[in-house]
Copies of this chain bind each other. A is one copy, B any other.
Amino acid sequence: MVKVVAKSKVKTNELEKYKDLVKFLIDETRKEEGCVSYDLFQDINNPSILTFIEEWKDEEALKRHMESKHFVKYVPMLGEFREGDGEVNIYKQIL
């Protein structure tokens, strides 16, 4: 199992557009083999911080996701609504 935390600061005036676009990405991603969960969260203290918390069966499944048509299409589009770079970490559970 691997977890991904992908955190973005989204431009305040683009939040709704960002969420609309994310819906397509989420719908397609949840159908993928090896996708255990793929959810979008908002910081309760700063609404412009939007973060995917993802769980994948293994690194292979995550690799396939990052090569999928919907990832290659939507992820660069989402980047345009972001302030600065996003922050992505891939994790294994140790405790």
Chain A residues engaging chain B, CB cutoff 8 angstroms: 2-3, 5, 7, 19, 22-23, 26, 39-45, 49-51, 53, 59, 89-95
Contacts and interface: CB of A to CB of B under 8 A. Distances in A.
A43 B50 CA distance: 20
Nearest to A19: B95
A49 B7 CA distance: 15
Nearest to A43: B89
B5 A51 contact: yes
Given A5-B51, A5-B53, A51-B5, A44 B93 contact: no
A51 B53 CA distance: 13
Given A2-B44, A3-B53, A5-B51, A19 B90 contact: no
